[in-house]
Structure 1
Amino acid sequence: MPLTSLTAMSPATEPSSVPALRLEPVTPENIDAALELKVRPDQEHLVAPVARSLAEAYAYGDTAWPWLVYDGERPVGFLMAFFDVVFQPGDQPRSGLWRLNIAADGQGRGYGRFAVEQVAAEIRRRGGTRVCVTYVPGEGGPAGFYARLGFRPTGGRSGDQDVAELELA
């Protein structure tokens, strides 16, 4: 996909309380803003920092899809998706959300929902039928957030993280 911005195209996929959201690729012009994004201190053990995600995006090349979430001119989050990855021999290829960091002062405003919806739309565009996500389980973790979006735990694990999936209609 060419490095251009992605903007929500329809009110059906865009939170009504946040009308000016869009995704932008990480570029030399916005990398410092990306690196400054921080989740709340009590969430730091739940998600890797953006710097680690960008290093993994570099190492994994075409597998990783790193983008910034903007509200107007302000970056408010970071997401990284993956597409058609086979994790173990004999597995079906999976696509999903690899990383989601919403700035501490931007949480609860629909930015995370927007990010997940954009990843789902890209997976659908590429012919996929489900979105996978992994997350650290436990108190204060994102399990409830993903459940509210329709993700269902698979019972599987990826390292120390639980796996959940969302079937796309």
Structure 2
Amino acid sequence: MPLRLETVTPDNVSAACALKIEPWQEKFVAPVAESLAEAYTQPAAAWPRLVYDDDRLVAFLMGCFDPAAPFDFFRCGIWRLNVAAGHQRSGYGRFAVEQFCAEARRRGQNRITVLWVPDPDGPEQFYLGLGFTPTGQTFHGETVAERFLD
């Protein structure tokens, strides 16, 4: 079975919460359990999804779709991307981002955003490689970047 996105359900939420990233990345992204708690408090905006490769959970993505958000960079964007330790550089993160872009297009959006912690070990190069461009804004010390959709 090819790569796919799945919604978080009672059947897979425990596996989702158990997904661990590389220890050195923990300063860049919150744990899945924290992300799911945030999604629970913002069900109209949050879009949490799991990435599977066959029946193996390999990543977690949480995006947002909130046209009424007070900051434009929270109206349609990626909040979190956690790729499981040992599964990075395998295309799973790229797949997750492209699936989010497809959902954004389906919803009539033409711009998505992402924020990252500026750090030489952070995800900046990953997002730049996917076509994101810094906007010049920062939010709580994080770089705000955008990507326009075709």
Q: TM-score, normalised by structure 2?
A: 0.95
**How far is 1:93 from its partner?**
7.2
**How far is 1:87 from its partner?**
4.0
**How far is 1:161 from its partner?**
1.2
Corresponding residue of 2:90: 109
Whole-Å separation in 2 of the counterparts to 1:34 and 1:161? 25
Query: Which AA in structure 2 matches 1:54?
Result: L
Aligned-residue CA RMSD (Å)? 1.6
Identity of aligned residues (%): 55
Match of 2:24 among 24, 42, 46: 42
Whole-Å separation in 2 of the counterparts to 1:92 and 1:68? 23
Whole-Å separation in 2 of the counterparts to 1:157 and 1:115? 24
Corresponding residue of 2:144: 163
1:80 aligns with 2:80: no
Match of 2:9 among 22, 27, 30: 27
Q: Residues 44 and 66 of structure 2 are in contact (CA less than 8 Å); yes or no, is this contact kept in structure 1?
A: no
Query: Which AA in structure 2 matches 1:151?
Result: F
1:51 aligns with 2:33: yes
Q: Residues 86 and 92 of structure 1 are in contact (CA less than 8 Å); yes or no, is this contact kept in structure 2?
A: no
Change (3 A) 1:93 1:100: closer
**How far is 1:84 from its partner?**
3.1
Corresponding residue of 1:71: 53
Change (3 A) 1:93 1:139: closer
1:126 aligns with 2:86: no
Q: Which structure 1 residue ranges, 5 or more long, are not aligned?
A: 1-18
Change (3 A) 1:93 1:58: closer
Matched residue of 1:62: which SS? coil
Corresponding residue of 1:97: 78
Corresponding residue of 1:5: none
Q: Which structure 2 residue ranges, 5 or more long, are not aligned?
A: none
Q: Residues 78 and 101 of structure 1 are in contact (CA less than 8 Å); yes or no, is this contact kept in structure 2?
A: yes
Whole-Å separation in 2 of the counterparts to 1:129 and 1:83? 12
Instruction: Write out the 4+ residue segments of structure 1 that deviate beyond 2 Å after TM superposition.
Output: 84-89, 91-94
Change (3 A) 1:106 1:32: same
